[in-house]
Amino acid sequence: MKSIYLDHAASTPVHPEVAEEMMRVMTGQYGNASSVHAFGRAAKRTVSGARDRIAKFLGCLPDEIVFTAGGTESDNLALFGAASMRRSKGNHIITSSIEHHAVLHACEELEKEGFRVTYLPVDHTGRVRPEDLEAALSEDTILISIMYANNEVGTIQPIEEIGRIARSRDILFHVDAVQALGALPINCHELPVDMMSFSAHKINGPQGVGALYVRKGLVIAPRLHGGLQEKKRRAGTENMAGIAGFGKAVEIASRQMEQRREHDLRLRQALISTLEQKIGRDAFVINGHQEECLPHIVNISFPQTDTETLLMNLDMEGIAAASGSACTSGSLELSHVLEAMQLPQNVLRSAIRFSFGLGNTTEDMEYTAQKIETILRRLT
Ligand code: PLP
């Protein structure tokens, strides 16, 4: 039986060059980057090398990169770190209703600490309307957190416009760019943003490593207390092998970005056009924005069935897709993103996220569409 992995938005396979780099570091370097002896200095050089590479790719200064244990920690560090520093100026935070749980649950915690949070609605394509943001602003708004691109439907947000609004009011702006990294060109200094979250395992890097861009001059309160690592913004001995792997993954992503985009667009087209041929255009609905979207994520509903049945049947055929975010796919609860987009119930309850990557081929997509046809025929 074939085995086709179409869940790259949840996690990607580690690139062989990344694994090689990590193995080199893990087996050859065991000093602590904080130690002053030669072993420590070698470790420090490894961490700084990766930091330099990542900063160059993101168009920022190396010191503006804080290494973390992933996108979740980066989001939490940004929200709690900025909110507590700005508390004396106000207690209002604005985010959107389609953020990742790393932002939404952090905001719920901040509410318990006395902050007021506005969760902006989105239109039916999953986009935040800048006019809704303007309307939500108040004198005590201190922080806005809106994702670059959504992990369930791939819709890209009007980040520049939102950032300009934030800047004009001197409000901090955090962007969760976990899904955008490697898929869209990102230049932190050219964008009107103050903080941006990234994660290595979405770009063929290791799981459990991430970064937060923190604009020079912005002081955020640390979440972890201990040593002075990461310029006092994140205590703890650095995950040296993971960071080295992240650096390598970024290097690969930067040289393959254009090629990856074309590849993903070809796959997207192959999946949609084969579905059209096999089951007809009326038998499925594509969720999310059709132009302003990440090429590697396509969210499709098949209203004659339901998500769980289709996912299970695809799994039995060796095809791994998802119901939405990885956190909710275990329990298959309704997607908060699709609910916020106010999709009809039959669309909401039959959505599948296909997300592809470098290892997939157009044949994989045609095969998947054929299997969907077989499954739907069997079920109806
Ligand atoms: N933000 C977004 C948009 C994501 O898609 C994810 C992971 O799926 C995260 C944050 C969390 O990142 P991590 O898995 O590295 O903690």
- Contact of 91 with 115, CB cutoff 8 Å: yes
Q: For the chain, give percent helix, strand, coil, nearest 5.
A: 45, 15, 40
Beta strands in 19-64 (DSSP E): none
Q: Is pLDDT of 94 > 60?
A: yes
Residue 26's CB is within 10 A of a number of other CB atoms, namely 14
> How many angstroms is it from 57 CA to the middle of ligand 1?
20
Q: Which of 113, 115, 107 is nearest to 89 (CA)?
A: 115
Read off the tokens for 132: 């809704």
Average pLDDT of the residues in 135-151 = 98
Q: What is the dihedral of CA 289, 116, 196, 96, to 10 degrees?
A: -10
Atom number in ligand 1 closest to CA 201: 15
Average pLDDT of the residues in 96-104 = 98
Q: Which of 245, 269, 248 is nearest to 360 (CA)?
A: 269
R_g over Cα of the chain: 21
CA distance 18 to 125: 35
- Contact of 154 with 178, CB cutoff 8 Å: no
Read off the tokens for 340: 């916020």
pTM for this predicted structure: 0.97
> pLDDT digits over 123-134, tens only?
999 999 999 999
Residues of the chain with CATH 3.40.640.10: 16-252
CA atoms within 13 A on the CB side of 161: 11
Q: Which residue has the tokens 């039916």?
A: 124
> pLDDT digits over 190-227, tens only?
999 999 999 999 999 999 999 999 999 999 999 999 99
Whether ligand 1 lies within 6 angstroms of the CB of 178 is answered as yes
- What are the residue numbers of the active site? 327
Residue 380: predicted pLDDT:
79
Read off the tokens for 37: 């002896």
> How many angstroms is it from 99 CA to the middle of ligand 1?
10
Q: Is pLDDT of 362 > 90?
A: yes
Class in CATH terms, 16-252: alpha beta
Whether ligand 1 lies within 6 angstroms of the CB of 151 is answered as yes
> How many angstroms is it from 206 CA to the middle of ligand 1?
13
Whether ligand 1 lies within 6 angstroms of the CB of 355 is answered as no
CA distance 324 to 366: 22
Question: C-alpha distances in angstroms, 362 versus 12, 15, 94, 287, 288?
Answer: 18, 20, 41, 21, 22
Whether ligand 1 lies within 6 angstroms of the CB of 199 is answered as yes
- Contact of 58 with 215, CB cutoff 8 Å: no
Residues of the chain with CATH 3.90.1150.10: 4-12+257-379
- Domain 4-12+257-379 adopts which CATH fold? Aspartate Aminotransferase, domain 1 (3.90.1150)
Q: Is pLDDT of 328 > 50?
A: no
What is the amino acid identity at position 173? F
Helix (H) or strand (E) holding 328: helix 326-329
> pLDDT digits over 18-29, tens only?
999 999 999 999
Whose CA is closest to atom 9 on ligand 1? 71
Q: Is pLDDT of 143 > 70?
A: yes
> How many angstroms is it from 232 CA to the middle of ligand 1?
24
Question: C-alpha distances in angstroms, 366 versus 70, 158, 232, 249?
Answer: 33, 33, 50, 29
**Residue 320: φ, ψ to 5°:** -100, 110
